[in-house]
Amino acid sequence: MLGYVMPLYIYVLEDIIVALVLLSSFVMLSSRWISFYIHAYGFQSFLIFILTLVLGIESQNIDLYLVAFLTLFVRSIAVPYILLRMIKKFNIKEEVGLGIKIPLSIISGLLLTVFAYFLTYRLISPFSPKIVINASSIALSLVFIGFFMIISRFTTITHILGILVIENGIFLLSVVIVPTLPIIVELVVLFDILVTVTAMLILSMFMKVQTGSFSTTMLNRLVG
Amino acid sequence: MKIFIITFLIIPLFASLSSFIIKNKRFAEYISLLSSFLSLFGAFIILYFSISLKTISIFNSAIVIDKFSAYIILLVGIVYFLSLMYSISYMRLAMEDEQLTDKEFNRYYLFLNLFALTMLIAPMINNMAIYLIDIELTTIASAFLVIAEVTEKSIEAAWKYILIVSSGISLALLGTILFYLSGNIPGSANAVSSLDWTTLRLNAVYLNKDIVRFAFVLIVIGLGTKVGLSPMHTWLPDAHSEAPSPISSMLSASLLNTAMYGIMRYFNITGKNLGFNYPQTIMVIIGLFTIFTGVMGIINQKSTKRLFAYSSIEHMGIISLGFGLGGVFGTFGALLQMFGHSLAKPIMFFGSGNLLHKYKTKDIKKIKGVFYIMPKTAFLFSIGVLALIGAPPSVTFISEFLIILQSLKNGYYIITIILISLLIAAFVSLLAKVGSIVFGKEGNDLNIQKGDFGFLSYLPMVLPLAVLIILGFYIPENLYNLLTGITHIIIK
């Protein structure tokens, strides 16, 4: 956390957790099955919850406790639960349509992570310790990987998860570099996530009824 | 004042919920029309207060309304009222022609009023992060309006819309968080721990310059997605063409302004921090590119509603170019252009809604000789297009002229030449297309009945057209003072 001095074990823990967060986003990039994506997302949100909680306890910031538990409920329980139920209900067994094949996806993910490190280093290195640079670079790389998931996968569920990964990245970034962010902002963002996911799921149900699939490859009529 | 603002916001909410609960069609139409009329009336009162009392600041500065906010609220109110008036005619025809179900009809009025509510709230909010979330809610409410008629195409449009704009808004949120970071750097003497634009504006000089530089680009990309700045405009033609006509006009004429408002707030903060040269350069480049994209879309267009959607992109480009050129003329011109666009675009979308119901197609080549079949619509449609593209007796002429004048004044001759040639290209191609629609040789289709639709199908076109032309001859002193006041808010 920027602006706080923490004991050593926090630094070690923070490093491990953000490394696992990055790993979970690479799990998403390297899998072909939708349920993998959802579980990886839930796991990632859970890691972010632990990190937020530990940082909140250590800095004695009550707002962070609240945000952490709301993250647990919304990001790592409610949203994956809704998505998994949706999959069960429609009995989806189809694979994710890949625009870019898995090996190339992983290499692109690596390049995006390196780019995020570069960008963060340029931006905040004058005034922040290395541990914060590390965590915030990984947060920024989540944003990029989310965008990459949206453009390279052709299923509505992965589009939704792409947006959710972007939001996770922004949330992690805000916890690490601006821990004093007003709590109302985090609350509204969580509310927004719930509303957006619900709206997008309703839309994709309409799509399933109309086109018989969750694949977005057939959405190519509106051009010009 | 508090009670007034709360009532102002509760009216659309009440209209939307009551029309959804009481499933009576006539009731839904009239309560929504009443609510939109009251909102317009309230918008005028807010404008009056914000001029005479300077800035309204209530609820511990959670809601701050200055002249700029009041102006945007007024534009939203005008379009809300016109669209509701047209909705009555449009939805009745849609129920007859396209077998719109009762369920879809009720959903339409529910989300229409909610959409208007979210747009009315957006300019009032002081905290920029909450403003962004409100913009996100406008996306969701309007995505359900785009699929008012559930077809494969409308679902595609809505999906693209919600996906592209949500990811754009999350970039803008990242930019906002970086703005917060720029004021909260550990070790700096002056911490600016707030996301309120009033606070950021007052303490703009204390923000970290490198981070502000990066954050402003993120904001322009993120909110620019919503404004339809190129190359993030791809959702716009789809959503505008697949939505019902009243919704297209609300999307185009009020939603884009609401998002532009956010960019201009950050523009002001960034300008105060880094000097206005930096944000202005970005706005000029992106504005010119957007005008170019819009004009290219207009030239190659085969569908009526997409034509006007691309025209919206072009106008947003002109507005951001005007803000980018800065100065009194450029900013004033851009604000006046917002006003002209908000009044002219509903005319065009309502006209194409009437054409859609008459000819059952959006294809420009299949719509001919409207003049002989629907004389009133054809007359208003052809005058409206002149007002839209900036033919002399209209507001848009004055605003475009002012923007050109500012670019000459700054000495940007190349920009002036590019702008004028693009405007002429848009002028010629829009006139040619509308000319072929209105005066083209009458088709031999005997299925088309002659005659206009009811009174309400063209009254919403008459009102803004009259205002546009009157203001083209004479801009009242109040409007002039208001726009000058906003200009000083933006560039100082």
Which residues constitute the domain of residue A72? Answer: 8-211
Q: A184, B130: Cβ pair inside 8 Å?
A: yes
Cβ-Cβ contacts under 8 Å for A137 (sequence gap 6 or more): A113, A116, A117, A119, A120, A121
Instruction: Please tell me the least confidently modeled range out of B56-65, B262-271, B437-446.
Output: B437-446
d(CA A166, CA A1): 20
| Closest chain B CA to residue A128 | B186
With respect to residue A219, please indicate whether it lies within any of the assigned structural domains.
Answer: no
Mean pLDDT to the nearest integer, B319-328: 91
Name the residue in chain B with its Cα closest to that of A159. B163
Which pair of tokens denotes residue B30?
A: 């009239």
User: Does residue B145 carry a pLDDT above 70?
Assistant: yes
**Across the interface, do B156 and A222 touch by the CB < 8 Å criterion?**
yes
Model pLDDT, residue A40: 92
Give the pair of three-digit tokens for residue A140: 């920024």
Cross-chain residue pair A196–B300, CB shorter than 8 Å: no
A94-A98-A101-A107 Cα dihedral, nearest 10 degrees? -120
For residue A195, tell me if it sits in a domain. Answer: yes
Distances, alpha carbon B432 to alpha carbons A93, B426, B436, in Å:
52, 10, 6
Which structure tokens are listed for A205? 């149900």
Domain ranges of chain B: 276-492
Q: Which of B221, B238, B240 is nearest to B230 (CA)?
A: B221
Regions of chain A with pLDDT less than 70: 93-94, 224
Give residues with Cβ within 8 angstroms of A105, minimum separation 6.
A29, A30, A98, A148, A152
Q: Which two tokens stand for residue B104?
A: 């879809």
From the CA of A153, how many Å to the nearest CA of chain B? 13
Lowest mean pLDDT segment, chosen from A108-112, B96-100, B196-200, B408-412: B96-100
In the structure, what pLDDT confidence band is assigned to residue B454 with cuts at 50, 70 and 90?
Answer: confident
Please indicate whether, in this complex, the C-beta atoms of A170 and B187 are within 8 angstroms of each other: no
When CB atoms are compared, the residue of A123, A188, A206 closest to B130 is: A188
Mutation test of the interface with chain B: which of A161, A187, A205, A222, choosing the one with the most B Cβ atoms within 10 A? A222
What's residue B438's pLDDT? 87
Cβ-based burial of B49 (10 A; exposed 0-12, middle 13-18, buried ≥19): middle
Q: pLDDT-derived band of residue B443, with 50, 70 and 90 as boundaries?
A: low
Query: Using a CB-CB distance cutoff of 8 angstroms, which residues of chain A are in contact with residue B185?
Result: 127
Least confident of A93-102, A154-163, B98-107, B463-472: A93-102
Residue B444 predicted with pLDDT over 70: no
CB < 8 Å to B213, chain A: none
For residue A155, the chain B residue with the least C-alpha distance is: B159
Q: Given the structure tokens 């310790």, which residue do they identify?
A: A129
Closest approach of chain A CAs to the CA of B207, in angstroms?
13
Answer yes or no: is A221 within a domain. no
**Using one digit for the tens of pLDDT, what is the confidence trace for B225-248?**
999 898 889 899 999 988 999 999
**Separation of alpha carbons A66 and B145, rounded Å:** 35
Q: What is the mean pLDDT of residues B175-190?
A: 85
- Contact present, B231 and B290 (Cβ < 8 Å): no
Which residue in the set A128, A150, A180 is minimally distant from B167, CB to CB? A150
Of B173, B169, B59, B76, the residue nearest B118 (C-alpha): B76
Give me the residue from B140, B160, B180 closest to A199, CB to CB. Answer: B140
Pick from A208-212, B69-73, B139-143, B262-266: least confident:
A208-212
Which one-letter DSSP state was computed for residue A153?
B
Residues 6+ apart with CB under 8 A from B297: A224, B237, B306, B309, B310, B313
Does residue B231 have a cis bond before it (omega within 30 degrees)? yes
Per the structure, the count of domains in chain A is 1
Please state the rounded mean pLDDT for residues B124-143: 92
Which residues in chain A have their CB less than 8 angstroms from residue B362's CB?
none
Residue type, A193: I
**Among partner residues A146, A174, A207, which is closest to B177 by beta-carbon distance?**
A174
Pairs of residues, one from chain A and one from chain B, whose beta carbons lie less than 8 Å apart: 125
Contact check, Cβ <8 Å, B170/A166: yes
Q: Which of B137, B177, B241 sits opposite A195 (nearest CB)?
A: B137
Q: Which of B158, B188, B195 sits opposite A182 (nearest CB)?
A: B195
Cβ-defined contact of B181 to A211 (cutoff 8 Å):
no
| pLDDT tens, residue by residue, B347-374 | 999 998 888 888 888 888 888 888 888 8
- Sequence length of chain A is 224
Nearest CA distance, A204 vs chain B (angstrom):
8
pLDDT of the residue at B309? 92
Amino acid at B310: Y
Q: Does residue B445 surpass a pLDDT of 70?
A: no
Classify residue A98 by its DSSP letter: B
Q: Higher pLDDT residue, A114 or B102?
A: A114
- In this prediction, residue B446 carries a pLDDT of 62
Q: Do the Cβ atoms of A221 and B152 come within 8 Å? A: yes
- Provide the residue count of chain B: 492
CA distance, residue B29 to nearest chain A CA (Å): 25
Sign of CA dihedral A139, A144, A147, A149: negative
ipTM of the complex: 0.93
Q: Which of B147, B153, B173 lies at the smallest CB-CB distance from A222?
A: B153
Q: What is the largest CA-CA distance in chain A?
A: 58
Task: Give the side-chain half-sphere CA count within 13 A for B434.
Answer: 28
Whether residue B155 and residue A170 make contact (CB cut-off 8 A), yes or no, is: no
What local confidence, expressed as pLDDT, does residue A184 receive?
84
* Interface contact B186-A2, CB threshold 8 A: yes
Position A220 scores a pLDDT of 76
Instruction: Name the residue of chain B whose CA is nearest to A178's CA.
Output: B181
Q: Is residue A102 part of a domain?
A: yes
pTM as predicted:
0.93
Instruction: Please indicate whether residue B217 or residue B492 has the higher confidence score (pLDDT).
Output: B217
Four-residue CA torsion sign, A205, A211, A214, A217: negative
What's the confidence (pLDDT) of residue B372? 83
The chain A residue lying nearest B62, using CA atoms, is A184
Q: How confident is the model at residue B473 (pLDDT cuts 50, 70, 90)?
A: confident
Cβ distance of B147 and A207 shorter than 8 Å: no
CA distance B346 to B368: 21
What gap in Å lies between CA B308 and CA B249, rounded to an integer?
Answer: 10
pLDDT tens by residue, B35-61: 999 999 999 999 998 888 778 888 888
Contact B177 A3 (CB under 8 A): no
